[in-house]
Amino acid sequence: MAAVDIIIGSVYGSAVLVAETLEQTLTDAGHQVQLHEDAVLADLDTGHFWLFVTSTTGQGDLPPNLLPLFEEMRESCPPMPQLRYALVALGDSSYDNFCGAGRQLDELLQELQAQAVVERLQVDATETLEPEEPALAWLKGWMAKI
């Protein structure tokens, strides 16, 4: 069983609900899970699995509670080839930069040589009012790789 850090970016709480749903399933499967709503690098361990759940705000921007970690990673983080991660992006396709925050974060993680174990999930608020449902189906498709 693995240690999993779920790292949340949320403005209005949808991403928190998704994260809590994924947390429950991972915990039931025997993993040790910690939720981070205001993550900083010092709180995180690259030996753990990182599961990001972030919405997008503004015009393709990261939520304020995830921005500090993003900037810290961009400005002062050495390559992290040992890090394995997965990412759920919540967004709304009626905005120009659909899931812009998730895309920016995924690109940064790739630049830092972290390993995505599965392709990023993008959940469109115009298609579902319950983003935890597609997120849970996505998780079940790959969680054996954690």
Ligand X SMILES: Cc1cc2nc3c(=O)[nH]c(=O)nc-3n(C[C@H](O)[C@H](O)[C@H](O)COP(=O)(O)O)c2cc1C
Site residues, ligand X (CB under 6 A)? 10-15, 55-60, 90-92, 95, 97-100, 125
**What are 62's two structure tokens?**
């990261």
Q: Which is nearer to ligand X, 64 or 79 (CB)?
A: 64
Q: How far is the CB of 114 from ligand X (least distance, A)?
A: 23
Q: How far is the CB of 136 from ligand X (least distance, A)?
A: 16
Q: How far is the CB of 118 from ligand X (least distance, A)?
A: 20
Q: Which is nearer to ligand X, 18 or 86 (CB)?
A: 18
Q: Which of 42, 27, 119, 95 is nearest to 73 (CA)?
A: 42
Q: Which is nearer to ligand X, 12 or 142 (CB)?
A: 12
Return the SS3 of 57. Answer: strand
CB 137 within 8 A of CB 109: no
CB 23 within 8 A of CB 143: no
